[in-house]
Chain A
């Protein structure tokens, strides 16, 4: 059992890494009439690197949330983490913190953390999280956060180019190397935490009390997971806005091939999340070129139908209480 699932994991990782390489190279050089090294280095390279970092963070965060909450619909954009990160960035920018900076990334982390704590507290009773309440709480937090973005936007320097649409739909058009430096280290810390707790997330599927009886501190694992989720998602949001459904689609697609073991699922989610977002950005730039469609629109076109199919499955299986 272990050999075959380990072999499948190795094969999928190999395919994923190779595909990432192809998309990375294609993204660097396509679409320019004049491919000067200077343009590739200063404009295209940070953009492509950021798609990989943000995509990896979003997909791993989705896989972790689904594991610790035992809810297949949990994903950063659905339970409000992404939107509250955007609110943090907008408020920070309105207060004069520069875009693509480390302080703004921390501002996103703080507000996204508060948002996640609020949603979890509202949805929890006696240590058990109610699936429906988690999703509805996430919707409310998202609307509230987007209202904060709307309120803060007039106070942000217009030349910075961040409209409400930028935050709501996501775009890598304004990515810079300083943005990469602000996001990547925090995402790496989030990945280290996520991979570190991966095997202990598995028994949480028995429920927190049974996991505790087995020697796994469910509360502590969940706390680490939530810290990881905020670090994986919020810094990226402060640079590129909200890119929805990546955290939903990628882990679910991978579960079909790898099963639910998080030691396999989370690293593979990192690779394929990077692949999905880099591909979505490639499509967003080239589909209607020279016009650019928001990358969040591309991921939502794929992700929203997947969400609805999963929702239907949950209703059929009686997982969603009426």
Chain B
């Protein structure tokens, strides 16, 4: 059974149809790349998959259940989402921000510390733990936010242009982390402009144009 299903999903905002009758599904363990020109509706589609936007028509199902019927807290244990911006989070330290993924979504678990150690190493943020997030560069912040949502321990991770503020080293680290995630049985859907990455590594590539998946 598909982990995530979109059934005739449309989104209308301010009279503009951002997503138009999309029907698609993602199986557990798959890596899905969503590509397409700016303004084509990729981020809106990802927001609908995350349950952060409410479809005007159609339905989104996670593990056979309507996303709209799930509470925010429960949803956070099932799916993680990272938007395009890399907020500075006031004056909080990296360690405090990473902790939120555990406190609010994953909950206190016995292996929380080992999960943290692992994620900190994968995203190479061990030297940043006591730094104030807003003082870091865009790329460093992006790594911290990726680590934060990874710590939610969600079954499906949704990333909106996660490579946009990363340099070449950061991008290769991201690709490694995504591969690692998929190998560990997690499901990832990401929006990217890097078609080379999408074509070479994704199990599915959804080409989005004018709110529709035209190839996928």
B52 in the interface (beta carbon within 8 A): yes
Interface size of A by Cβ–Cβ distance < 8 Å? 21
A214 in the interface (beta carbon within 8 A): yes
A216 in the interface (beta carbon within 8 A): yes
B120 in the interface (beta carbon within 8 A): no
Report the separation of the CA atoms of residues A212 and B53 in the bound assembly, to the nearest whole angstrom.
11
Report the separation of the CA atoms of residues A261 and B90 in the bound assembly, to the nearest whole angstrom.
10
**4 additional contacts, CB 8 Å, given A213-B50, A214-B152, A261-B92?**
A205-B88, A209-B83, A215-B76, A215-B77
CB-nearest residue of chain A to B107: A215
Report the separation of the CA atoms of residues A260 and B91 in the bound assembly, to the nearest whole angstrom.
6
Cβ contacts A to B, 29 pairs, < 8 Å: A1-B96, A1-B130, A202-B100, A203-B100, A205-B88, A205-B89, A205-B92, A206-B87, A206-B97, A207-B83, A207-B85, A207-B87, A210-B83, A212-B72, A213-B50, A213-B80, A213-B81, A213-B82, A213-B149, A214-B76, A214-B152, A215-B73, A215-B77, A215-B105, A217-B72, A255-B91, A259-B92, A259-B93, A260-B90
**How near does chain A come to B175, taking the closest CB pair, in angstroms?**
23
**How near does chain A come to B197, taking the closest CB pair, in angstroms?**
23
Cβ–Cβ < 8 Å partners of B104 in chain A:
200, 203, 214-216
Whether A215 lies near B75 (C-beta < 8 A) is yes
Chain A 183-215 interface mask (CB, 8 Å, partner B; 1/0): 000000000000000011011011101101111
CB-nearest residue of chain A to B74: A215
Report the separation of the CA atoms of residues A199 and B101 in the bound assembly, to the nearest whole angstrom.
13
On B, residues with C-beta under 8 Å from A are 50, 52, 72-73, 75-77, 80-83, 85, 87-93, 95-97, 100-101, 103-105, 129-130, 149, 152
CB-nearest residue of chain A to B101: A214
Report the separation of the CA atoms of residues A207 and B88 in the bound assembly, to the nearest whole angstrom.
10
Cβ–Cβ < 8 Å partners of A205 in chain B:
87-90, 92
The 8 Å CB contact of B100, one of A70, A214, A217, is A214
Scan residues 58-81 of chain A and give those whose CB is less than 8 A from a CB of chain B: 70
- State the main secondary structure of chain B at its contact with A: mixed
Report the separation of the CA atoms of residues A259 and B129 in the bound assembly, to the nearest whole angstrom.
15
Cβ–Cβ < 8 Å partners of B73 in chain A:
215
Which 6 residue pairs of A and B lie closest in terms of their CB atoms, listed nearest first? A215-B76, A205-B90, A213-B81, A215-B73, A205-B89, A260-B91
Whether A212 lies near B101 (C-beta < 8 A) is no
Known A-B contacts A203-B104, A214-B76, A216-B72; the reply to A259 vs B91 at CB < 8 A is yes
CB-nearest residue of chain B to A215: B76
Known A-B contacts A70-B90, A260-B90; the reply to A202 vs B96 at CB < 8 A is yes
Report the separation of the CA atoms of residues A205 and B149 in the bound assembly, to the nearest whole angstrom.
15
**How near does chain A come to B193, taking the closest CB pair, in angstroms?**
21
Cβ–Cβ < 8 Å partners of A214 in chain B:
76, 100-101, 104-105, 152
Report the separation of the CA atoms of residues A199 and B77 in the bound assembly, to the nearest whole angstrom.
18
Cβ–Cβ < 8 Å partners of B101 in chain A:
214
The 8 Å CB contact of B87, one of A200, A210, A215, A259, is A210
Cβ–Cβ < 8 Å partners of B95 in chain A:
1
Report the separation of the CA atoms of residues A281 and B54 in the bound assembly, to the nearest whole angstrom.
52
**How near does chain A come to B117, taking the closest CB pair, in angstroms?**
15
